[in-house]
Amino acid sequence: MELEKLRHGTELIKRGFAKMQKGGVIMDVVNPEQAKIAEEAGAVAVMALQAVPADIRKEGGVARMADPKIISEIIESVTIPVMGKARIGHFVEAEILEALGVDMVDESEVLTPADHKYHIDKTEFTVPFVCGARNLGEALRRINEGAAMIRTKGEAGTGDVSEAVKHMKQIMGEVRALKGKSREELIAVAREIEAPIELVLETAEMQRIPVVNFAAGGVATPADAALMMRMGADGVFVGSGIFKSENPEKMAKAIVEAVNNYDNPQVLAEVSKGIGAGMKGISVDSIPEGDILQTRGW
C-alpha cells in the first residue's frame, strides 16, 4: 500500500464517523466498569469523563479535561468508539485527547471554558468534533469551525429534559422557517443569526443542518430519549441519567431499546417497566443563574 495515498481527517471522514452513530445512544462513563456496562447495553459510543455532569455541578470549581489515565483505561476496555471532553477554546486539551486515541472530541460547555472569545479551530484536527448548540446560528457557527456533529446543549447534569426539548424545537423550527425563502431572504437570515451564508443556503436546501444532530443535556429516562427522537434527533447522549439511576444496567439497556422503538408506545411501556428509579435530578427553574451551563459558548 502506498501510504502517501491515504487521505486522513477529511471532512467526509469526520462527518462520516458521526453518521455511523445515528440512531444510537452515547453514554457518559467514568471508569472501565461503567464503559463495559454501556457497551453491553448496546451503546454506540461512550464519553470518557472524570465525573458525570451531575457531580461536576455539585462539586463546583473549575472543571477540566479528564485525567488521561482514566481515558486510556476506558479506551482499552471497550471496542466501541470513545469520546472525550475538552474545555471550550482549549485546543491543547483537544490535542491531548487526539493523542490518546479518542475517536471524537466534545468541545463542551459542561467544562469551564478556557477561552471566552474563540472556540477551537476544529478544521486543524484529524479527529472529528461534536459541539453543543441552542439555536441554528450557534449550530452553523460550530459547523463552520469544523464540527462534524452537533448536539443540543440542554442543561447537563439536571435530569430535566425541558432545555434539550427547547433547543431541539428551536433548531428544527428555524430550519423549517428557511423553507420557501428566496436567496436574498436567506442571506438576510444568515446575517441575523450570525451564521455563514453558504451554510444557511445548504441548510435551507437540505431542510436539515448539514451534520448529524443529537439530543443532549437532561435526558434521564427511556421516555425522554424517545421524546427527543420523536422531535427529529438523530440520536441521544445520556450523561448522568444512566449511572446516577438506581439500576444503571437496566436503565442503559432500556434507553437503547427506547431509541430503537421511539415511535412505538407499546414497546416503550414494556422497556420502561421495573427499571428502578431515574436520577433524582434538579429542575432547571431552581438553578441560580450563575450555575447555568448552557450559556457558556456563543
Partner 1 sequence: MKLGVIAIQGDVSEHVDALEKALKQRGEKCEVVTIKHRGIVPECDALVLPGGESTTLGKLLIREGIADEIKDMNAAGKPIMGTCAGLILLATAGDEQVAKTHQHLLGLMDTRVNRNAFGRQRDSFEYELELPFLETPYNAVFIRAPGIVEAGEDVKVLAEIDDMIVAAEQGNVLAMAFHPELTEDLRVHQYFLDKLF
Kindly list the residues in this chain that would bind partner 1 in the complex (CB under 8 A). Answer: 1, 5-10, 12-13, 16-17, 19-24, 39-40, 42-45, 78-81, 98, 101, 103-104, 126-128, 256-257, 260-261
Nearer to partner 1, 123 or 126 (CB): 126
C-alpha to C-alpha distance for 239 and 236, rounded to whole angstroms: 10
Radius of gyration for the chain, computed over Cα atoms and rounded to the nearest angstrom: 18
| Nearest one of 148, 208, 198, 155 to 178, comparing CA atoms | 208
Closer by beta carbon to partner 1, 101 or else 265: 101
Distance of alpha carbon 46 from alpha carbon 60, whole angstroms: 24
DSSP string, 168-199: HHHHHHHHHHTTT--HHHHHHHHHHTT--HHH
Based on CB atoms, which residue is closest to partner 1, 77 or 221? 77
Comparing CB distances to partner 1, the nearer of 99 and 277 is 99
> In angstroms, what is the minimal distance from the CB of 251 to partner 1?
16
User: Could you give the maximum distance between any two Cα atoms of the chain, in Å?
Assistant: 59
* Among 14, 85, 122, 153, the one annotated catalytic: 85
CB of 210 to partner 1, least distance (A): 14
Cell numbers of 64, please? 477540566
Cell of 164: 434539550
Q: Nearest approach, Cβ of 266 to partner 1 (angstroms)?
A: 12
Whether 85 is catalytic: yes
Q: Using the CB atoms, write b or e for 62-93: b if 16+ within 10 Å.
A: ebebbeeebbbebbebbebbbbbbbbbbbbeb
Q: Tell me the closest approach of the beta carbon of residue 190 to partner 1, in angstroms.
A: 26
User: Which residues have a catalytic role annotated?
Assistant: 85
